[in-house]
A = this chain, B = another copy of it.
C-alpha cells in the first residue's frame, strides 16, 4: 500500500502515518519527493486503506497488491484449457454450449437435445432450479429436471451444464451434471463458492450484475482456493442506466480478463441482451473479440417456453449462427468447437 501525503503535510502528520503502519504489522518505506512525501507499507498483513485516508495530511491511499493470486496471469502464464466431452474452452478454442433456459418436461428437453446434437453441439444447458425474482413464478423441476436432462444428454452423447443455487444441492449436481454453473446473483455467495472449491468438476461462474472484473476474479479465486482448478468465467451483462436492453453486455471484459487471468472467459448473449434478435449479432461480436466460448439459449418452441422464451433462438436460427461463427473464428485465430 502506498500513502501519498499532501503538499504541505507536517512532519507530525507523516509520523502518525508511520506509527499506524507499524501498529498494523507492516514495514515502513519512506521516500520524500519534491512536492509529495510518499510512504509505502510493505508486507503481507491485510490493512484497510480507508484508515489512512482519515488521517491528517493524507492525500491519497493506493492499494497495490491484488488479492487474487491463483486466478492471475502472474501465477500461471499460459491459458487454462478446459475440455468437456471433447469441446475445448481456452487457448485457441472457442467452445459452444446451448440449450433451453429451463427443463420443462421430457418431450421438450429430448427434442432440444436432438435438434442441438444435429447442429453439432456437444454440451447442453438447462435449468432445474431457477432463481426467480418473484416467489410466485415457476421455480423449476428440481431433481426431476436434472434426471431428464441427463437422460436426454446421454441419448444424444451430450455433456450437461446446469445452475446450482444452494450448498445442499451440490451432491445432486455431482451425480447428474458435467459442468456446474453459479448464477450472477450468487457470484458473491461465498459459502457456496467455498463448497464448490472442493468439487472436482468444472464450474462456470457468471459475472454479477454490478460486479467489477476484479471482484469477479476474486470470486473465481474462492473456487480455486480449494482443490478445484477448472473455473470458466462467463460475462452476461452488467447493470447500467441504459434501459433499451435488459443488461449492457460488456464485451471489453474479454480482452481485459485475458490480460489479467489465465482462465477461459465465455459469453452468455441471451441473458446479456434479453432479446432474440440481439443474440445473433452479439454472439458474432463476442467471438470476434476473442472469447473462449458461448452459452446460448435455444428452445424447440420459444413462443411456448415457460421462461425467457423471448431470448431463446429457434433451432434453425441457431444452426445458421453456429455455422457463421465457425467461419468467423479463424479470422481471429480461433477454432470454434
Q: Which residues on A are within 8 Å of B, measured CB to CB?
A: 2, 4, 6-8, 20, 23, 27, 29, 31, 33-36, 38, 40, 42-43, 46, 48, 50-51, 53-54, 59-60, 62, 64-68, 74, 131-138, 165-168, 185-186, 188-191, 193-194, 208-210, 212-215, 218, 221-222, 225, 238-245, 248-256, 259, 272-278, 281-282, 284-290, 303-304, 307-311, 324, 327-328, 331-332
Chain B neighbourhood of A7, CB < 8 A: 74
Most buried by B among A64, A225, A276, A287: A64
B residues in contact with A134, CB < 8 Å: 67-68, 218, 221
Closest Cβ of chain B: how far from A136's Cβ, in Å?
7
A188-B131, A328-B288 known; A278+B251 contact, CB < 8 A: no
Give the contacting residue for A189; candidates B29, B185, B213, B287; CB below 8 A: B185
Residues of B close to A51: CB separation below 8 A = 303, 309-310
A183 to B152: give the CA distance in the assembly, Å.
39
CB of A243 within 8 A of CB of B310, answer no
- In the complex, what residues of B have CB within 8 A of residue A311's CB? 50
Contact A60 B64, beta carbon cutoff 8 Å: yes
The CA-CA distance from A53 to B260 in the complex, in Å, is: 13
State the CA gap A33–B29 with chains docked (Å): 7
CA distance A284 to B289 in the complex (A): 6
> Across the interface, which residues of B come within 8 angstroms of A240, CB to CB?
238, 240-241, 248, 250
Query: Separation in Å of the A10 CB from the closest CB of chain B?
Result: 13
Contact B252 A133 (CB under 8 A): no
**In the complex, which residues of chain B have a beta carbon less than 8 angstroms from the beta carbon of A23?**
303-304
In the complex, the chain B residue whose C-beta lies closest to that of A287 is: B288
CA of A294 to CA of B249, assembled, Å? 19
23 CB contacts below 8 A, A to B, read A6-B74, A31-B38, A35-B42, A35-B65, A50-B274, A53-B275, A54-B275, A54-B277, A132-B190, A134-B218, A135-B193, A135-B194, A186-B189, A208-B210, A210-B239, A212-B244, A248-B250, A249-B251, A251-B282, A255-B277, A281-B289, A324-B332, A328-B328
